Amino acid sequence: MLSLIFSTISGILILNAVPHIVKGICGEKHMSPFGQKSSAWINVVWGWANLICGAIIAINLDFPNWTTDLWLGFCAGGMGTSVGLAIFWSDPNARLPWHKQENVR
C-alpha cells in the first residue's frame, strides 16, 4: 500500500514539474510556492526540484519492475494533477492560499 502512495506522489511531482519548466524555459513568470509571479529561473529550479524528487521516489520503488497497480497510481497522480491544474489555471485570478490578493482596478 505504501508503494502505491509513493508511486502516486511520484506522478504528482513529475507532472507538476512540466508547467514550471516550460514557463521558465519560455522566459515567462509563473506562479510557484514562492510567489504569484515568480521569475522564469525560479520556475525552472522549482520544476527541476519536482522532477528530481519524483524520479528519486520512482527509482527507489524499483521503477523498471513496477506492477500494474503502481503504474495506475502514478498515472492517477499525474492525471489528477494535470486536470486539477487545468481547472485552477482557467481562473485568471488564480492564486495559492498563502499568496496575497492583488488589488485589481
Q: Does 95 fall in a domain?
A: no
Higher pLDDT, 105 or 36: 36
Q: Does 43 fall in a domain?
A: yes
Q: Are 73 and 11 in contact (CB under 8 A)?
A: yes
Q: Does 62 fall in a domain?
A: yes
Q: Does 101 fall in a domain?
A: no
Q: Where are the beta strands (DSSP E) in the chain?
A: 30-32, 35-38
Q: Does 74 fall in a domain?
A: yes
- pTM over cut 0.85: no
Q: Who contacts 28 (Cβ-Cβ below 8 Å, separation ≥6)?
A: 40
What's the pLDDT score for residue 94? 77
What's the domain range around 37?
Answer: 2-88
Total domains present in the chain: 1
What's the pLDDT score for residue 102? 63
Q: Does 96 fall in a domain?
A: no
Q: Are 38 and 46 in contact (CB under 8 A)?
A: yes
C-alpha cell read off for 18: 512540466
Q: Does 93 fall in a domain?
A: no
Q: What percent of the chain has pLDDT over 70?
A: 94
pLDDT band (50, 70, 90) for residue 49: very high
Mean pLDDT of the chain: 90
Q: Does 18 fall in a domain?
A: yes
